[in-house]
Amino acid sequence: MPQGDKSSHTDKQKRRAEHIEESYEKRGTPKKVAESRAWATVNKETGGGKKSGSGRGKAENRGASSRGGRAHKSGSAEQRSAAARKGWETRRKNGNA
């Protein structure tokens, strides 16, 4: 079990962590690592366990899970375009186009 008490998390957060963990395991990640990553993702998106009290909620940012583990797009549009052209030239040269 990852560090920390999960009793302050909502049922929805627990379900979400379970689904994320299953996804990691399908991709071959060890169970302990998958569980740890899943809770890290849930905590990042929801701000950790929910505390009682009015006005304590914050909007959720689901960017981490919507990317599905992919890194941010690197570079400007011009740099990505140049990389695409370079790849095309390489594929054409090697006969893979």
Let me know if residue 4 belongs to a domain. no
Let me know if residue 5 belongs to a domain. no
pLDDT at residue 90 is higher than 80:
yes
Let me know if residue 1 belongs to a domain. no
User: Range of 83's domain?
Assistant: 11-49+64-94
pLDDT at residue 69 in the model: 56
15-32 mean pLDDT: 93
Let me know if residue 21 belongs to a domain. yes
pLDDT, greater one: 3 or 37: 37
User: Cβ(24)–Cβ(33) under 8 Å?
Assistant: yes
Model pTM above 0.85: no
Total domains in the fold of the chain: 1
With 0-12 / 13-18 / 19 or more C-beta atoms within 10 angstroms meaning exposed / middle / buried, residue 92 is exposed
- Model confidence band, residue 8 (pLDDT cutoffs 50, 70, 90): confident
